[in-house]
Amino acid sequence: MTAQNETLLARAAVIVWNDIAPDGREQFYRWHDKEHIPERLAVPGFLRGRRYAKRGHSPEWLTFYEAADLDVLTSPEYLARLNSPTPQTTSTLTLFRNTSRAVCRVAASVGSSSGGFVLAMRLDAALADADAVRSIVGDQLFAQAMAQTGVLACHLYAADSSASFTDTAESRTRAFDVPSWVVLIESSTPEAAERVRSSLEGPEVERLALRFRPDATVYALEICRLSTQGKISS
């Protein structure tokens, strides 16, 4: 994690995109707000949970759990939770549609404030060089983005394929894919985040053999909850 970051609480994250079956919206909100987020933040090493949404877009929701490090996300405590889902969790997960789930490490992060909006971009990469991605996206393009009014923080996450595809009782309830990289741009206005999108999808990224998925969008914050486990220093 770069020393310039004052926004993230941790070095790893679980990042989830999803839609919900049309008749399951109320159940999703009741479960996610009252049960799922508090349950996850009770796992040792989980520090903050945030959910964003964009009505009418697919995927409609983005959920972002920060964990102290990748070991937390493969820990016996977390795996025990994933292998013992509550009845409400099992029921609700069957309603998930169009799901991506990535267990990630922080590859680069800059910024000093959190924003109410986030541009979320999933990148697929078959041959991309990780050091080049961190240099071009995490250094060069993030520096350009941070110079724009309204942009507050920029984060680059690298997915860990093994951790993301761990077979658990929860993972077997729904189909999902794992993007190779995730870019999150936090901003104070949706327009500021949207302006960054074109620069990130430019020729520099194309030369890295990265492909931005076309459904990138700017989400608005719906809920943010902190654990009581404290902040991890960078």
Tally the domains of the chain: 1
pLDDT by 10s per residue, the chain, length 234: 444 567 899 999 999 999 999 999 999 999 999 999 999 999 999 999 999 999 999 999 999 999 999 999 999 999 999 999 999 999 999 999 999 999 999 999 999 899 999 999 999 876 668 888 889 899 999 999 999 999 999 999 999 989 998 899 999 988 899 999 999 999 999 999 999 998 888 777 777 778 889 999 999 999 999 997 655 444
Closest CA to 17 of 164, 234, 132: 164
In a domain, 88, yes or no: yes
CATH classification of the domain holding 52: 3.30.70.100
* Tens digits of residue pLDDT in 38-65: 999 999 999 999 999 999 999 999 999 9
The pLDDT assigned to 1 comes to 41
In a domain, 197, yes or no: yes
Range of the domain at 108: 12-224
Q: How wide is the angle at C-alpha 210 spanned by C-alphas 209 and 212, nearest 5°?
A: 150
The pLDDT assigned to 195 comes to 92
The pLDDT assigned to 229 comes to 66
In a domain, 42, yes or no: yes
In a domain, 6, yes or no: no
In a domain, 2, yes or no: no
In a domain, 74, yes or no: yes
The pLDDT assigned to 206 comes to 74
In a domain, 233, yes or no: no
In a domain, 210, yes or no: yes
Report the alpha-carbon distance of residue 90 to residue 68 in Å, rounded.
26
**Single-letter amino acid, residue 91:** S
